[in-house]
Chain A
């Protein structure tokens, strides 16, 4: 089948408006928020029903054509870009929330449902969906499952993995299977656990059953400001070690604070501070103010200038908006922003942040840190002008050094954005060739033809016997 014939066959499934093949139409699919990667696809298909998704994947299986499942394209790791002529399957039209069961605190949603729409739908029942990536007003549940997304409140409530109970999966060969069990325990292997976070390489989630969480009866949101980022990091380490488990501990550094305060998202952060911590406690009303006072003391001990507690819901929302829209606010700093993602042990926050600062100074780049301090999930963000090749080159060098510093501190290369294409080169820093090969073996179980999101997550050369078929590889002896 030629490319034009393939487009025609796809149109026969999804209708004339569901297939995009002109360069201008495909532009939005060439990036996922990470400015250092642009890969325009040659074909994108936008099914609007579950059956259309199935028919599309079966057609692509017959044609032995690669495909990339894509949600909102907010992944920031170049994971949703098409390599090797793979067809983009955009799932944004499957947006329905199929059911909400307030008694068992469950919801079943289609993959294209936007994260926050689920929380809005659950709100009348006093429930919400806990994983809340900063992109939650755009990102989809299907994308969250693919990336095992986190968010500020994952510190207390856990990541996507901890909230998904079952997924109906369309495997790359077009067959259907259910992983997990919405109605009880799952006998046998935890294939659902393996599927969550597989970055679209194991198939497409056609529906997702998630756990909903009761809204906490009491919430306290605090803002502490510091004259050094190290002081903020010390406060974070103290809070974590104290045994109080806040719902979220978020940090923003001076450059981020000033960008936010200059933008329409101004949250009332002290503009002369070098760091602020946004700490949220939630739970039962009784005792929560005792914990607030203990945290105030810990922040003061670490050198906080002021600690204030949001007086009402409006102030709380404003404090959070500054945090969640910080990436957008940085548009004021430079035309492009590389949002990075790495995790370090929490006791290493002060020294790794210091190292990052040194690396930035050495390469003459501007790093803004806005991140989930409570679980050590850093987002060192580099603001730069992508039209300046020399600056872009310096950004790449600095990024590599930052990632290496995080790994050297005992950390990992991604906490919630995924490997995609961007982190492929770092995978050998944390996994041995044998460990990478084991990951390839698992991929081959789900996708023996290696057509689902080809070229992502594990570097191709790490898969031994790449040319041998998976069936051949396991019986060699």
Chain B
């Protein structure tokens, strides 16, 4: 499937018309932003592409309100450029290139190292415009930072992988960019030392924006040397930054790292790599880290505060990834594949414990199962 062959829409009304038509003909649609996620997520069934990349542009931005509304096909890079002019940013750094779209980021609920401080898209999204599976245009939430009017469809659509509706517009909360922004790397000798640094950091007087552990293989790829390393992003006004830097040095041998290290990390995985996200309670992160250890062709990084370990396996080593997934599941982790060959998916991915309810939600919003069929991972999806 290529984006070029897609039905390309420019307005929400176009989307509604396309979905209505698809519903009428029971002809499934695959929703595409920039196409970065086509090989990600649960195994998809065949469907005609509906391209949203031309449905782009910032609709509303009032810097004083720290909120921004953009069409779904707007890229994260464009949002970053517009907000940077006012010293603000959307504090989301999902893995992948910055030319990914805000619509895809919200649809997949993707986040990156900044989730340590700012959470995931569910914490940043204030409102949506969505076309549901019968071609109806609806709005959820609003454009203000606090809102409990009505049932929270915003959270429902965030992370639903386009299986309940096509997200056409997104309103997000922005944040002011701190004055200083610097990154530090603390290399450690072994996993015991890693655990000690992470533990000490929890109570140290530092408030990092990101705090990520990377294994030796990944540290080399990031240009940080060949040892297991903790990468820390500090951002604050000068006085606070100075004090935090000093505190960080008490945790270990902190060396300055280029700020580009985060961009590199976001795009480090080669095309066709397999990636898994493993999670457990934060204090089980070390166990998860061990369960994910594999001598060959594997890189790991972890967000200890969130209990998440992400495993990247080189192309051709999918079965190693599957073994890691099985080992993690045996260690009571939740295993969420980001990219995994379809055949391996059923045995690796942790199933949702609420499939029955989810199937009813799906029937309510995409009654003919025409939106991103397969991605809901619900049994009914296979009947199409």
Contacts and interface: CB of A to CB of B under 8 A. Distances in A.
Interface of A: 101, 103-106, 147-148, 150, 154, 158-159, 161-162, 177-179, 181-194, 196-198, 201-202, 217, 237, 240-245, 283-288, 290-291, 343-347, 372, 375-377, 410-419, 423, 427, 430-432, 434-439, 441-446, 457-458, 470, 474-475, 477
Contacts of B138: 432, 434-435, 438
Given A241-B64, A285-B205, A194 B151 contact: yes
Interface stretch (B183-191, B259-267, B276-284): B276-284
B149 to A, nearest CB: 5
A458 B149 CA distance: 9
Contacts of B151: 194, 197-198, 201-202, 439, 442-443, 457-458
Interface in B336-379: 336, 349-355, 357-358, 360-361, 363-365, 367-368, 377
Interface of B: 62-67, 87-88, 109, 119, 122-123, 132, 136-140, 142-156, 158-160, 164, 175-178, 205-207, 236-244, 277, 279-284, 307-308, 332-334, 336, 349-355, 357-358, 360-361, 363-365, 367-368, 377
Contacts of B109: 190
A181 B160 CA distance: 17
Nearest to A423: B149
B43 to A, nearest CB: 14
Given A183-B280, A410-B143, A445-B364, A434 B149 contact: no
Nearest to B367: A474
Nearest to A462: B150
Contact of B352 (A187, A244, A442, A458): A187
A346 B145 CA distance: 9
Contact of A442 (B153, B239, B277, B336): B153
Contacts of A184: 279-281, 307-308, 333-334
A438 B152 contact: no
A149 to B, nearest CB: 8
Nearest to A429: B149
A458 B361 CA distance: 18
A262 B236 CA distance: 42
Given A191-B354, A431-B139, A436-B150, 16 more contacts: A148-B152, A154-B146, A158-B119, A159-B148, A177-B357, A183-B280, A183-B334, A184-B308, A187-B377, A190-B109, A202-B151, A345-B144, A375-B145, A418-B148, A439-B153, A442-B153
Contacts of A185: 277, 279, 308, 334, 336
17 contacts: A103-B283, A105-B282, A158-B123, A161-B152, A185-B334, A187-B377, A188-B352, A191-B361, A192-B155, A194-B155, A198-B151, A283-B207, A285-B205, A345-B65, A412-B142, A418-B148, A442-B153
A-B interface, 7 closest residue pairs, ranked by CB to CB distance from nearest: A193-B155, A243-B176, A188-B352, A286-B243, A287-B240, A184-B279, A347-B64
Contacts of A283: 207, 240
Contacts of A241: 63-64, 66, 176
Nearest to B334: A184
